[in-house]
Structures are given as structure tokens and as C-alpha cells.
Amino acid sequence: MSKTQADRDGLITFRAGGTLLCLTAQVSERVQLLYAGPDLPSASAADFERLSTREHAPGGPQNPIANSLLNAIGTGYPSPPGLLAHRTGQDWVGDPCLVEAKQSETSLTLMTHDAACNISAEHTFDIDPGSGVLRCACRITNQADSPLALEWCAALCVPINPSLTNITSFAGKWAGEFQTEQTTLVRGSFVQENRSGRTGHASYPGLYLGESNTTENSGQAVARHLGWSGNTRLRVDHLATGELSAQAGELLLPGEMTLQRGESYATPPLYLTWSDQGYGPLTRSLHRYVRGQLCPVAPRPVHYNSWEAVYFDHSPARLMELANRAAEVGAERFVLDDGWFGARRNDTAGLGDWTVCDNVYPDGLEFLSEHLQSLGLEFGLWFEPEMVNPDSDLYRAHPDWVLQAPGVEQIASRHQLPLDLTRDDVCEHLFERIVSLTKQLNIAYIKWDMNRDIQHPGGEAGHAVMHQQILALYGLIERIKAAVPGLVVESCASGGARADYGILTHTDRVWTSDNNDARAHHAIMRGTAHFLPLDVLGNHVGPQKCHITRRQFDMEFRAGAAIFGHMGMEMDLTQESAQDRAILSDAIALHKRHRTLIHTGDYHRLSTHKHICGIGVVASDRRDAVFQLAVLDPHPTMHPPRINFAGLDPDQRYEIQSIWPQALDKSFGTFAGSALMQYGLQLPITNPDTYLIYHLKAAT
């Protein structure tokens, strides 16, 4: 990395992968982020420096105050500060100024120092050339002898184009993840806080912002996401000056972060991507980033998961039978869910006792491992390593191993308590148990679950250790993966409550939701796909009568939903009719035929009538595409509407085939891409609760 141009003219122009950052960078001065957004190839930092000049406004400071990397209190900038720290009430007015800037083709590091408080802040910016996604983070170091109490540090204070006042946020609940909500920002603040001790169902640490008229393919937009699996705060402030300023960072608990001399705190990374062609490109850039940098795409085996078939009612014979049926319909991996260990006959006991239950499995689980191998299935095993039931051998032996606040009653939740991963003995124990079982049983895949919020994350000394807990979790997963080469890990937390880029830096897919109701699932998938690509999203065919919503659906509908994702199934296959198993098997075969495309292609949300929900996946060369249309309610008109495809090459002719449900299998002939996108294809008359799937192939 070389010293930057800043040395010469006090400005930095940093562009890569279609993204442009322009900053002021005068040594001993504050650093101003002048522009962050889609690349404007003829523009440079000098343009923005001059364009950002403002005159004195009556009632305001004599010299208008510019934004800076942390909008620290000492600067007087009118947004909430991005840095809050003090030394028992002293040294609270910071103003970090540039010491040094270093830049390479795809990364930039800015070292700043706050002389009054003796704190240094190092900002790193990395632009992924493949996707244009910017990853930035800040490291605060205490340079003084007295301890520094850090209360808040945003990864970066980002100036946002002031016309982007339309916020799309993602809120949810168990079995109802990633519901998209629209808010128009007025003067004031939009703040989302998560104090659940995990990424959580309630508010996802990611937002899209657009103009009032931004659509899927037009208008300015930006997406932000904080890669952190613990407590978070995201805010967007619409200031009296007319500016928009955004922050995201870890929500620190009281007294959680005290830095002694020389100690540092690193914020979680903030991910940003911009678009001047609507929301669609944001999604595709984030998908490219996740595939390229976090969860490289490998062939994703079709799952069978035992949970809804047996819950805690295990027996060797049941598992053998389910494995046979799963293999028959085309499963490639069998995941044995909760209930195989200790005294875990229901959710009140045994959690934490990671030894195979010898009442249920007197000969261990080797029989299953061997049977799966003979069927050509990979063996996946469920763990919930971070938790313990008080009614367990582990807790009886080590009651001090749980997170707790002295003198405060634990909050009851699913009869379990969180273990303190900041203790070496706890991590050592978990590492030994998981690695030895994994090796012994030839486990290729771990479903890593986490089923409660952590409200009182007190460590051994009684202090809040939420930050350290998350780092310890990441470290433990990495250690296990290093000890078991090739191990694939799924992140599950009561469904999709841990689906952020922090956990995905260490795991390979997420369990999207416990709700496998095919009618509800399309909305959960659509919401989640704003940040995660389909290959990372577990999408399972459920039982005929959904266990969560009690609604009933035929197999065509259930299976049609799951084809677009990392496909799996989770039901008692012995209760499905032979006819339904045949349909399921056809759906799995169809998924396998188009799996590479679904798992690597560009994702498009279609604009449709309200009663239909449509998405598509288009190959990067635009010669191959599949589209899925969920018809959810009766068509309000005599004839259904036409559907406008997206992402195609307008000049290419495509052969279209309807490939699901099978009864509607038919070829329509070839059409111009432009006609398919602008005029659209007439939908057939179907009942509601039908998934229609079309395959489009370049004809020449």
C-alpha cells in the first residue's frame, strides 16, 4: 500500500468496481467524505470539494460545518455524534484529524488522531472490484494512561444523497422474518436498535434508501448493512441543514467497553452499495459480494431435515425409513435435527450434553452414518452449542458457565440459558465435543442453532461481555472448521434470526424461517433476498398441513416454492402419498437441472399485480433464465394479466417453456427479449396458490 495522492493535493479520489469515494485528506485536518456513490467517471474529489461549498446560513455557525468520518462532538456537526467516549467525564469533546492516508487499488486506510482526548481512529475502506460493495470499519485506540469508556462508535458516518428519504427496512418475528416496511423520513431521525444479543428477528441491521420515485430499475438508491451478530444500532438523521447522515454500529451495553492504554476496539464492518438504476442493482451487487467474498458457491446438496418429521420422538427405525424415502425422492444430504443427545426428549432437558443418547441409540449413531453413506447421502447434525438447559449434566457440573448478571433473575426463554463463550474452558469443552462427534460420525454439515435472546450477557466479572461473546462465537466456529476440513456450517437461530454478513463470514448458509407455509414463504424469501442470494437461503418443502399456520397446500404448490433457494424438504415422508412423493421427486429433479443457474444467476424482482409475486434468475450472459410466479389470490379480472420479464437481453430471442406445474408444461415458441420485458407473456388461468415456473433460453 502506498501513501496516497493526499500528500500532494489534500484530496483522495478512490474508485473501484463501479464505486467512487472522494474525500478531503489534509494532514492535521478533519477528513470529509465528499462523495460516496456510483462512479462518475469524469469526476474527481476536486469537483466535489468545490461543489460542496456552502455559504453562511443565518442562525448557523459562521463557517458552515462539514461532515467528517465520525462527526465527533468536537467538530460541532449537527448530527448525533458517531463517537461517544470519555474518561470519567473528562475528554469527551473529540475531533480526530488526519495523520496519514494509505491507498492501494482496492483499499484505503486513514489514520486520524484526536489530540485533545488522545484517541486514535483508523478507518479502513475496501471496495470489492467484483461487486462494487464497500466494506468499511473503524478501530479506536486509547493512547492515554487513563482508561477510556467507549459508549458508541459508528463504523462510519456516511453522508447520504438528501433526496433518498424513502427507507425500506426489514422487521419480523419468529416464523415471519424479513417483512419489508416502507417509511418516508421527515426531519428528525430513523433509529433501529437491536438488543436481543443475536442478529434477531425484530429488526435486521440493513436498510435500503431510495428517492420518492425510485423503482426496481430507475432512480438513485443505497443499501447499508452492518455485519454483526449481536446488538446493533442503525440510524439515519435528516438534519436541519438539509443533509442526510447515516450511522451504523454495535450497540454497547453500559460499561461494556473500557479501553486501557494501547487497547483498541474495532467496529463491525459496514457494507454499502449504491445504484443510479433503482433497487434491483443493489440486490445484485450484494449477492455478488456474498457469493464472491463470504459464501463461495459450491454445489448445494438437496437437504432432508428430520425436525418436522420426528421432533423429539427419535428411533433408529424411523430415521432409517426417513433416510430411505429421502434418498428415493432425490435428497443428497440428511440432517438429523434436535433430540439425538443426552436426555433431550423434549426442550426442557439435556441441552448442552453433547453425547449420543444411549437410551434411544444404544449402538450410537454410527448405524445412521453408515446407512446414509450407503444411500449416497451426506450426514448433517444439529447442535445448539451456545446454550444449556438448567436440567442437564453440563449445567449441574458447571452452573457458573452461563452468562448472568449478579443478583439478577435470569429471563426464562425456551428453558435454556446462554453459555459464556468468553471463558476458555467453555469454548474448549464445546470444541472437543463437536470436533470429536463430527469426526467419529463422518459429519459433513452442522446446523448451528441458537434459540433465545440474550438479555443479561454478564461475564465472570459481572460486566457486559456481549461484544466478546460474539467474537468468541466467530472464533469457535473458525476453530472447528479448521479442525474438520471441508465442514459446512449452517447458521440457524429460531429460523432466520442470525442471517447477517458477520455470521456469514464464518458459516455457509442460513435457515431462512421455521415457517414453511408455501404461501407465506415467498414473502420471507423475497425480503431476505434483499441481502442474501438464493443459494444461501435454506428453502424447504413442508408437510401438507403447515405446522406453523395450519394451512393446507398441495404438493405442486409446496414444491414450486422451494425450487428457488437452497432446496430441501422437512416433513414426514412416510405420510406423503406415493403420488405426492412422485411430484416432489420431479420438483427436486427440476431444481437440480436449474440449480447452477438459480445459485449463480442475477436475481430480479418482477413488477406484478398485487395478487402475484414474481422473481427471476438470469445468467450473467443473459442466455438462460428461470422465473417463478406465485399466484396467491384469485385473479380479479376475467383474464389474468400479462407478466413482464426482467433482466433479459432485449435484442436476443428466447424460447419460453412453462416448466411447473407439470400439468402446464408447454413450449410457447420464441420471442424477442424486448417484447417479453415490455409487452409481457399472458399468464394461464389458474387457481390461487399456484407457483408457475418458466424457463427462457436464448434461441440463437
Of the residues 91, 114, 508, 514, only one is catalytic, namely 514
* Eight-class DSSP state of 553: -
Nearer to ligand DGJ, 449 or 517 (CB): 449
Residue 338 CB, shortest distance to ligand DGJ, in Å, is: 4
C-alpha grid cell for residue 385? 452449542
Nearer to ligand DGJ, 234 or 310 (CB): 310
Residue 350 CB, shortest distance to ligand DGJ, in Å, is: 11
**β-sheet with 232-238: strand ranges across:** 158-160, 244-250, 232-238, 188-194
Nearer to ligand DGJ, 125 or 379 (CB): 379
Instruction: Give the Cα separation of 278 and 291 in Å (integer).
Output: 21
Contact criterion met (CB below 8 Å) for 698 and 622? yes
Instruction: Give the Cα separation of 372 and 88 in Å (integer).
Output: 61
Nearer to ligand DGJ, 128 or 337 (CB): 337
Question: What are the φ and ψ backbone dihedral angles of 542, each rounded to 5 degrees?
Answer: -100, 180
Nearer to ligand DGJ, 256 or 338 (CB): 338
Residue 307 CB, shortest distance to ligand DGJ, in Å, is: 5
Nearer to ligand DGJ, 237 or 338 (CB): 338
Residue 542 CB, shortest distance to ligand DGJ, in Å, is: 11
Of the residues 449, 586, 602, 624, only one is catalytic, namely 449
User: If DSSP codes are grouped into helix, strand and coil, which group holds residue 532?
Assistant: coil
- 44-67: buried (b, 16+ CB within 10 Å) or exposed (e) per residue? bbebbbeebeeeeeeeeeeeebbb
Contact criterion met (CB below 8 Å) for 49 and 123? no
Rounded alpha-carbon distances, angstroms, from residue 257 to 70, 250, 386, 465? 18, 11, 22, 9
* 449 has catalytic annotation: yes
Residues lying near ligand DGJ in the complex (CB under 6 A): 307, 337-338, 382, 449, 451, 492, 494-495, 511, 514
User: If DSSP codes are grouped into helix, strand and coil, which group holds residue 620?
Assistant: coil
Instruction: Give the Cα separation of 300 and 442 in Å (integer).
Output: 18
Rounded alpha-carbon distances, angstroms, from residue 385 to 54, 457, 476? 55, 16, 10
Q: Which of 99, 498, 530 minimizes the C-alpha distance to 290?
A: 530
Residue 447 CB, shortest distance to ligand DGJ, in Å, is: 6
Amino acid code (one letter) for 96: P
Residue 196 CB, shortest distance to ligand DGJ, in Å, is: 15
Give me the DSSP letters along 149-206: EEEEEBS--EEE-TT--EEEEEEEETTEEEEEEEEE--SEEEEEEE-SSSS-SSEEEE
Residue 661, exposed/middle/buried by CB under 10 A (0-12, 13-18, 19+)?
buried
User: If DSSP codes are grouped into helix, strand and coil, which group holds residue 563?
Assistant: coil
Tell me the residue nearest to ligand DGJ as measured from the CB: 338
Nearer to ligand DGJ, 80 or 538 (CB): 538
Residue 330 CB, shortest distance to ligand DGJ, in Å, is: 21
Nearer to ligand DGJ, 66 or 331 (CB): 331
C-alpha grid cell for residue 453? 435472546
Residue 492 CB, shortest distance to ligand DGJ, in Å, is: 5
Which residues are designated catalytic? 449, 514
